[in-house]
């Protein structure tokens, strides 16, 4: 076959495989669109919007936007981190239980399935629990209760981070000592084996010399042949023993490397959970505090909020060691600020619309205009919080999928897509039991699983040897999302773009 035909065949194969993998990842994203939009519609048109609307009168539109934004982002981040940490803990447990060769080999097969299921279930259950808590607090105590919940949760996360850091350091020290003991034990075993082999060799040589002297000279050539065969046998046994010892040492090093990596993943994501929500919580507390004391509708509150966001972002981004949680904390803080601006803008649109209605001759009272403003602001706050939390969950999932080993990307891509469909099915089945908040939190888990699939697809796209594979994989992602989901090109394109960006950001 000519070289040009071979190149063409290779390009066609890359394009076909890339489009197929991209379609699988895009279908996972598209499957989440209708359930998520349905959950948002139930909140906007249901009884849960009433305490949100009452919250506008308490903390003002800026305070409501920052509170709902911080709550939505904190819920999404916590659900994603719960999945990663549980997956790391399960992998560490399986690695500890299976210290032999079979256990490490199983990490490429059955253990990957167990770890993926643990991550999906933990993300879904954590999101459902947090959604139920948010719904209960909002119904019973109003939106202001979310501020106290955010503060308490921030303190609890910091305490958990301290405990996990101490535990990880202890596990790392124990792992180093255990590895050193194993290496020392293996070295002693090797020396003992060499000594035994040397004694056997000397004994055999002495016996062969005695037999050689006793034999007749006419059998001298045959005797020399027997000696050479015995020497070759001993050499093969020695090489086999050396090979087994080398493989055992490599196995121990591989186990140690996997354990260190999983411990690092656990430590980094718990650090992210503990500190990434602090900028959003501070922003929400300051803005809601002004609203509680009656200054929520004043213009200077917006100036203070903007100065606070910019100053915290400047301090975090100017840090000597820019960590993953700092970057995500700044992104979350600006997203919260954007939700607050959209909430205020929705109220202003209601005022402008009322002025146009008055010009047509219709009579609108001040109370009707205020109620309309509060309703529009509440709807916009919920919708913007949904949109930002979706982007956050897809991005965090993509950062997990992008950090995996290249040899398992296709398996993770398909497995995450299957997990996404399974989570959506289980959520719809138990929707009556979970309620609106629980269903919304569970769907965040599905978005996280879809984000993992998209992140893996993005890494596959950029790893092709030609632009044909990259373009076909991206086209497959867009086609799958649009075909299975809704034909919202802007929303789908933004989610795919976020998946590409976060798949290239290493959280470690």
What is the DSSP secondary-structure string of 85-132?
Answer: HHHHHHHHHHHHH--SHHHHHHTTTHHHHHHHHHHHHHHHHHHHHHHH
E strand or H helix that includes residue 28: helix 3-45
Instruction: State the pLDDT at residue 450.
Output: 87
Q: Identify the pLDDT of residue 245.
A: 65
Note the pLDDT of residue 177.
41
Highest mean pLDDT pick, 94-108, 217-231, 253-267, 465-479: 465-479
**Could you give the CA distance from residue 306 to residue 312 in angstroms, rounded to a whole number?**
10
Q: How many CB atoms lie within 10 A of CB 408?
A: 14
Question: What are the tens digits of pLDDT across the range 311-320?
Answer: 888 888 777 6
Q: What is the mean pLDDT of residues 213-220?
A: 52
Give me Rg for the CA atoms of the chain.
31
- Res 101: pLDDT: 47
Q: Which of 185-189, 199-203, 329-333, 347-351 has the lowest mean pLDDT?
A: 185-189
Number of helices and strands in the chain (H, E): 14, 0
Tokens 């933990």 locate to 122
Instruction: Tell me what pLDDT residue 231 has.
Output: 60
Structure tokens that stand for 449 in this block: 């699983």
Burial of residue 227 (number of CB atoms within 10 Å: 0-12, 13-18, 19+)? middle
What confidence score (pLDDT) does residue 376 get?
A: 84
Question: Model-level pTM greater than 0.95?
Answer: no
Interior/surface letters 285-298, b for 16+ CB within 10 angstroms, e for the rest: bbbbebbeeebbee
At residue 425, the pLDDT reads 87
Three-class SS of residue 90?
Answer: helix
In whole angstroms, give the CA distance from residue 201 to residue 89.
49
* pLDDT value for 176: 45
Q: How far apart are the first and last CA of the chain?
A: 46
Q: What percent of the chain shows pLDDT beyond 90?
A: 0
Using the predicted structure, report yes or no on whether residue 224 has a pLDDT greater than 60: no
Distance CA 268, CA 258 (A): 15
Shortest CA distance to 260 belongs to which of 181, 169, 324? 169
Q: What pLDDT score was predicted for residue 247?
A: 66
What number is the average pLDDT over the span 118-135? Answer: 88
- Has residue 369 got a pLDDT over 50? yes
Nearest one of 449, 365, 368, 359 to 401, comparing CA atoms: 449
Interval 422-429 mean pLDDT = 87
Burial class (CB in 10 A: 0-12, 13-18, 19+), 163: exposed
The structure tokens listed for 447 are 């978005």
- Mean pLDDT over residues 298-302, rounded? 77
Phi, psi of 487 (to 5 degrees): -80, 60
User: What integer best gives the mean pLDDT of the chain?
Assistant: 78
Q: Is the pLDDT of residue 1 over 60?
A: no
* Out of 16-30, 140-154, 187-201, 346-360, least confident range: 187-201
Better-predicted residue by pLDDT, 111 or 266 = 266
303-352 pLDDT tens trace: 888 888 888 888 887 776 767 788 888 888 888 888 888 888 887 777 77
Instruction: Please report the DSSP string for 332-381 in residue order.
Output: HHHHHHHHHHHHHHHHHHHHHHHHHHHHTT----HHHHHHHHHHHHHHHH
Cα–Cα distance between 462 and 421 in angstroms, integer? 26
The answer to whether 67 and 290 have CB atoms below 8 angstroms apart is: no
pLDDT reading at 4 higher than 70: no
More confident: 109 or 180: 109
Q: Calculate what percentage of the chain has a pLDDT beyond 70.
A: 75
User: Which of 120, 109, 118, 92 minimizes the C-alpha distance to 265?
Assistant: 92
Higher-scoring residue by pLDDT: 159, 258: 159
Give the confidence band of 21 by pLDDT, cuts at 50, 70, 90. Answer: confident
Q: What is the pLDDT of residue 179?
A: 45
Among 92-101, 256-265, 289-298, 454-463, which range has the highest average pLDDT? 454-463
Range from 67-76, 182-191, 331-340, 376-385 carrying the lowest mean pLDDT: 182-191
Residue 150: other Cβ atoms inside 10 A: 21
């Amino acid at each position: 076959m000519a070289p040009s035909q071979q190149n063409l065949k290779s390009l066609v194969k890359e394009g076909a495989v890339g489009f197929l993998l991209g379609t699988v990842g895009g279908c996972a994203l598209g499957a989440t669109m209708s359930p998520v939009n349905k959950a948002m519609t139930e909140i906007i048109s249901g009884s849960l919007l009433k305490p949100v609307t009452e919250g506008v009168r308490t903390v003002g539109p800026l305070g409501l936007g920052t509170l709902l934004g911080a709550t939505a982002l904190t819920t999404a981040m916590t659900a994603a981190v719960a999945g990663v940490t549980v997956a790391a803990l399960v992998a560490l447990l399986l690695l500890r239980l299976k210290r032999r060769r079979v256990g490490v080999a199983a990490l490429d097969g059955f253990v990957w399935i167990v770890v993926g299921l643990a991550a999906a279930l933990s993300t879904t259950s954590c999101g459902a629990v947090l959604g139920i808590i948010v719904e209960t607090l909002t119904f019973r105590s109003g939106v202001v209760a979310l501020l106290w919940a955010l503060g308490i949760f921030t303190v609890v996360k910091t305490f958990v981070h301290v405990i996990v850091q101490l535990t990880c350091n202890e596990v790392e020290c124990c792992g180093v000592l255990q590895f050193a003991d194993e290496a020392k034990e293996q070295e002693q075993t090797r020396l003992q084996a060499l000594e035994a082999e040397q004694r056997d060799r000397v004994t055999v040589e002495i016996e062969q010399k005695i037999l050689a002297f006793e034999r007749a000279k006419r059998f001298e050539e045959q005797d020399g042949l027997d000696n050479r065969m015995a020497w070759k046998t001993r050499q093969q046994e020695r090489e086999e023993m050396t090979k087994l010892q080398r493989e055992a040492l490599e196995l121990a090093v591989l186990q140690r490397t996997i354990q260190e990596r999983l411990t690092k993943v656990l430590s980094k994501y718990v650090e992210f959970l503990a500190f990434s929500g602090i900028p959003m919580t501070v922003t929400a507390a300051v803005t809601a505090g002004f609203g509680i004391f009656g200054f929520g509708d004043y213009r200077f509150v917006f100036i203070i909020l903007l100065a606070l966001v910019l100053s915290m972002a400047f301090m975090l981004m100017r840090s000597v060691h820019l960590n993953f949680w700092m970057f995500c904390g700044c992104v979350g803080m600006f997203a919260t600020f954007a939700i607050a601006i959209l909430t205020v803008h929705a109220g202003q649109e209601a005022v402008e619309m009322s002025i146009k209605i008055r010009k047509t001759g219709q009579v609108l009272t001040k109370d009707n205009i205020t109620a309309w403003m509060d309703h529009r602001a509440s709807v916009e706050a919920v919708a913007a919080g949904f949109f930002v939390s979706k982007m956050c969950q897809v991005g965090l999932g993509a950062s997990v999928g992008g950090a995996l080993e290249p040899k398992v990307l296709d398996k993770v891509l398909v497995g995450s897509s299957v997990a996404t469909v399974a989570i959506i099915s289980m959520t719809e089945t138990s929707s009556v039991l979970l309620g609106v908040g629980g269903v919304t939190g569970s769907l965040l888990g599905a978005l996280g699983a879809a984000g993992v699939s998209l992140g893996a697809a993005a890494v596959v796209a950029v790893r092709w040897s030609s632009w044909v594979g990259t373009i076909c994989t991206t086209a497959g992602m867009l086609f799958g999302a649009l075909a299975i989901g809704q034909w919202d090109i802007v929303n789908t394109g933004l989610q795919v773009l976020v998946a590409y960006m976060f798949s290239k950001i290493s959280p470690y």
